[in-house]
Amino acid sequence: MGGEGSMAAANNSLKNNRNLLKKKRKGSLAGSYGNLEMAEFPEATPQQLLEIEKKIRNKNKQARIKQLIIFAIFMLVFLSFIYYLIN
């Protein structure tokens, strides 16, 4: 049967590539973050959380309004162009 030599070469190549890879370190934070200490952050009060929520809602509302204005302008220009082409 043919193909045994090419399959052996493929298996050998895979084996060599696997050996070239770095061995995975065990642990949750391996590598350069291994010795990093976690920072302590203060807990947010319910009042602060409500203020943050209001700010986020306000930003999202402003972004939505901007998107609608840009879409309206684009549609106005597009429809004007189509009207110009028809007439």
Please report whether residue 13 resides in a domain: no
- State the pTM of this model: 0.48
For the stretch 22-43, pLDDT in tens is: 555 555 555 666 677 888 889 9
For the stretch 42-73, pLDDT in tens is: 999 999 999 999 999 999 999 999 999 999 99
The CA-atom distances, in angstroms, between 64 and each of 60, 67, 69, 70 are 6, 5, 9, 10
The DSSP symbol for 33 reads: G
- Would you state the torsion angle of the CA atoms of residues 73, 75, 78, 83, taken in this order, to the nearest 10 degrees? -110
- Are residues 34 and 27 in contact, defined by beta-carbon separation less than 8 angstroms? yes
Which one, of 48, 28, 52, 46, lies nearest residue 38 by Cα? Answer: 28
Please report whether residue 59 resides in a domain: yes
Tally of domains in the chain: 1
Please report whether residue 39 resides in a domain: no
Expressed as residue numbers, the domain containing 64 is: 45-87
